[in-house]
Amino acid sequence: MTATSAPQELPLVEHPLLLLDYDGTLAEIAANPDHALPHPQVPDLLRAVAQRFPVRVISGRKVADLARLLPVPDLIAVGVHGMEEGRLGGEVGSRLDTASRELMKSARADLPAVPGVRVEDKGAAIALHYRGVADEDQVVGELRRWAERLAAGLEAVWGKMVVEVRPLGFDKGRAARELAAEHPDAVPVMIGDDTTDEDAFRALTAAEHRDGDAVTIKVGPGETAARYRLADIEAVVAYLRRYL
C-alpha cells in the first residue's frame, strides 16, 4: 500500500483518541525487551498530550512491564493484545475467562526447549523471542512445529523475531474497536509498526466513526492495511507533537 510518509502531511484530528503501540513506535526495538526504553521525548510528550485528549497504549507487553519502562503514571494501557487493562503504576484487570486460563496452562506444559530462544510468560499469553539465535531457519522450523500442535482455542501469532501463543478472540483489532466504542465522540488515531497492529488498522478502517474516518499509521517499511505511513520513531514524535 502506498502511504503518506511526512508527519506534516498526515491529517490532524480535532477530537482524537490516540491509540499507540509501544515497541517500534514509542521505543526502539531492543535485543533484550527489558531494555527497550522510550524515545527520550516520549514520556513528557505523552503526559502533555494526555491532558488534552484520551491516550491509550496498546501493547503485546504486560501493563506491569510497560510501567517499568514508560514513566507516565496513570496513563491507561491495554496489555497483552487486549487481555488486560490498567493504569501504569496502578491496578491491572484481566479479561481472560477460566477456559482461556486452562488453555494457557496446556501451552506452558508443552513449551519447546530451543537453545537461544527466550520465553516471556505474560500470564495471558506466552512469547518466544528468537532474536539473535545462531540458526534462525532451524529455530523457526522448531517453533512452527510446536505451534502446529497447540490445543484448539489457541493461536500462534508471528511478529518481529517472536512468536506468541494466546487464546483465540483477543487481538489489537478487538481492543481498538472496544476503546473506540468507549469514546464515541472521538476519532481513533492508531499508530503501530508490527504484524499485530495490522489487526487494529483493519478493524478501525472497517468501522464507522461519527466524526470521521479513523487515521491508521504504519511506522516503517512493509505491506500494511494502514492509510498512512511514518518512517520511524522520530517521525512519530514529530506527528504527536503537532497535537500540542
The mean per-residue pLDDT over the stretch 7-31 comes to 92
Catalytic residue among 21, 171, 193, 199: 21
Q: Structure pTM?
A: 0.81
Cα–Cα distances in angstroms (integers) from residue 127 to residues 43, 53, 122, 207, in the given order: 26, 32, 8, 29
What is the CA 103 to chain-centroid distance, rounded?
22
Give the whole-angstrom CA distance, residue 76 versus residue 68: 14
Task: Give pLDDT tens digits for 127-175.
Answer: 999 988 889 999 999 999 999 989 899 989 898 889 999 898 889 999 9
Describe the crossing of helices 233-241 and 42-50 by its angle, rounded to 10 degrees.
30
The rounded distance, in Å, linking the Cα atoms of 78 and 19 is: 10
**CB atoms near residue 26 (< 10 Å):** 29
Is 21 noted as a catalytic residue in this protein?
Answer: yes
pLDDT for residue 3: 62
Question: What is the Cα–Cα distance from 244 to 240, expressed in whole angstroms?
Answer: 8
pLDDT tens figures, 27-45: 998 888 889 999 999 999 9
Percent of the chain with pLDDT over 90: 65
Which grid coordinates belong to 13?
Answer: 484530528
Burial tier of 81 (Cβ tally within 10 Å: 0-12, 13-18, 19+): buried
Distance CA 11, CA 21 (A): 19
Gap between the Cα atoms of 47 and 66, Å rounded: 15
Q: Give how far the C-alpha of residue 206 lies from the chain's centroid of Cα atoms, to the nearest Å.
A: 19
Q: How many residues does the chain have?
A: 244
Query: How does pLDDT run across 67-121, given as a tens digit for each residue?
Result: 999 999 999 999 998 889 999 999 998 877 888 888 888 898 889 888 999 998 8
CA 134-68-165 angle, to 5 degrees, is 50
